[in-house]
Amino acid sequence: MINLRSLYIYGGSKDYKISINKRDFIYHINTGVLKTESQCLDGLESIHNIALKIKDDYIRYINSLNDLFIKNNLLFKKDISLFYFSDLFNKRTELFDTFLSICHITFIKEQLIDKYKINSIKTIQCSSSFNQSILSSMKDINIEIIKEKKEKKYLLKRLLAQKKYYLDSLLNLLLIKLFYKKEERKNTDSLFLSRYPLHFNKNFVEDKYGDMVGKNDSFLISMITDGFHQKIKLNKIYDYINDLNRKKNIIFLDYYLTASDFIWGFINSILLVKRTRRLYKQNYFFNGIKITKFISKELEQSFIRIPRLLIYGNAIKKVFSFHGIKKSIFYLHEYSYGRFFNYVLIKYFPNVIRVGFQHGPAARRKLLYYLGKNIVSDNPKDWQKKTPIPNMILAEDELSKSIYEEAGYKNVKIMKYIPRLKYLSKINRNNILDKVLIVPGLHDGYSLLTFLFNRIKEDNDNLYILKPHPRSKLFSEGVPNEFKSQNLSLGFEHISKYLESSKEVIVTYSSVGIEAHLLNIPVTVVCLPNLINESPLLDIPTEKSVNIIYKKRTY
């Protein structure tokens, strides 16, 4: 008689005790661990290989959804499909679990079910989106949902968020109009798009462009933006306006906004609720996996963002009409924010040179870089089916250049130097100490520390320094009690201080990993099950100085 067994799939972010038959198996899709003695079948390395294998098909599938936008007249000024300004087109794998879940389900279906003679699956704390997907793809398997992760009613949250954004923005605009001193007309060689204060230090040096900005150049600065990239409290706006009044090399984009822009944006966001209704009634399948609930979330996020982007159309036109601008350089050109900016320029100012600027590491598993096949055109007649892109792309290195070219970009040039990494040239590593630097991402500090803590406790020969992500609040009150150890401390100084003397750097997907690699520091990359790791170190040929760890449960 064939022994048939169950597979328990756990989707929680915290550890969970459960009593199950030792003959059964467990599998994790999040950072939490099922605490049981049963065998764990996690296959993170296979998941990352599957991601590369199905990537092109997935991109092609997502691009096909533009037909629904066109069919439902979701166009901007009957000109370009709103699809190209959507999070859906961007394939934001750091925000949405769609692609990750497809990879997990594909692995389970193709490599676990038959091999381990699994005849039933039980999910614990998995989302309703994941449960829908796995139920649809394994109809011959008995699937039981033991406990489903609660998900918020997103439509109500969406409407409340929109209302708050437009009210806050109108108040911010009022202060800008009252207190900002409009700049004189500027003849500008190159205009660098950025956001203030997010990307400027106390000396008003931009953290991505650095010293690329010359004396005949200017910054095009926004503070309000789309409410996602930065959020500024009302009581801080006045101080920031005064700071900008003292600068000579800026053009303040928000000053060119009007109250009617925001009123129109709010009305448009309400109208979109009705105009997009049919998209939510569709069923979406990829490779036999129903991903309807996942796609609905991406659509909802898209239709929050899109009206906020469109607000800036008139302001951008006013700036470029008023000032003598020859070239525009901007990062986030791969994202909705930069795509809309690029569209307005090519539509109304085709003689302005548009330069897309790489602002961080590129990787082959980072789907938002990838446009797809036959999807690019500068001809306005094509823009319902295709998207315009910058005239030129400035890439950081050969790997990034090759990725951009694979992704569908043209005229890709390598920068003479990388401004954001210029600090590396000043690092002196003549005094390497017994220190290990841990650098988590924005949301995975707790999970990474959990994975490493046994090593930290047992290693009395080295001091471990955890440098939290600058925007993470997890360690704002110090090291949590469960991670107290005499050889673990937090570091809040500039990263260069720690790179000077560390003997090893441990990261998940932080760009510090590639920076350490450039300094020939041994790097350990930890891959966690809740994300496809998008570090470029996974794309570099295996070297002794890079150690890739695909996390397994530690119990």
Q: Region 517-543: what's the mean pLDDT?
A: 91
Q: 207-228: per-residue pLDDT in tens?
A: 999 999 998 899 999 999 998 8
For the chain, percent of residues with pLDDT exceeding 90:
81
The pLDDT, as a whole number, for residue 554 is 47
Q: 467-504: per-residue pLDDT in tens?
A: 988 777 778 778 888 899 999 999 989 999 999 999 99
The pLDDT, as a whole number, for residue 263 is 96
The pLDDT, as a whole number, for residue 536 is 94
Q: 282-334: per-residue pLDDT in tens?
A: 999 999 999 999 999 999 999 999 999 999 999 999 999 999 899 999 999 99
- Strand duo 250-252 + 34-35: pairing: unpaired
In this structure, what token pair is assigned to residue 436? Answer: 């290990």
- Residue 390 pLDDT class (50, 70, 90 cuts): very high
CA distances to 116, 250, 352 from 184, in Å: 72, 10, 20
Q: Which residues contact 6 (CB under 8 A, 6 or more apart)?
A: 20, 21, 24, 25, 118, 119, 120, 121, 122
User: Coil, helix or strand for 361?
Assistant: coil
User: Coil, helix or strand for 28?
Assistant: strand
Q: How many residues does the chain have?
A: 555
Long-range contacts of 339-343 (CB under 8 A, 24+ apart): 339/84, 339/85, 339/387, 340/85, 340/309, 340/310, 340/312, 340/313, 341/193, 341/312, 341/316, 342/388, 342/389, 342/390, 343/80, 343/84, 343/85, 343/383, 343/387, 343/388
Q: 225-254: per-residue pLDDT in tens?
A: 998 878 888 889 999 999 999 998 999 999
Kindly tell me if the per-residue pLDDT of 114 is higher than 60.
yes
- Residue 551 pLDDT class (50, 70, 90 cuts): confident
Give 454: exposed, middle or buried? Use CB within 10 Å, 0-12, 13-18, 19+: exposed
Q: Across the chain, what does the average pLDDT equal?
A: 93
Q: 120-177: per-residue pLDDT in tens?
A: 999 999 999 999 999 999 988 999 999 998 876 666 777 788 899 999 999 999 999 9
The pLDDT, as a whole number, for residue 555 is 39
- Residue 92 pLDDT class (50, 70, 90 cuts): very high
User: Coil, helix or strand for 554?
Assistant: coil
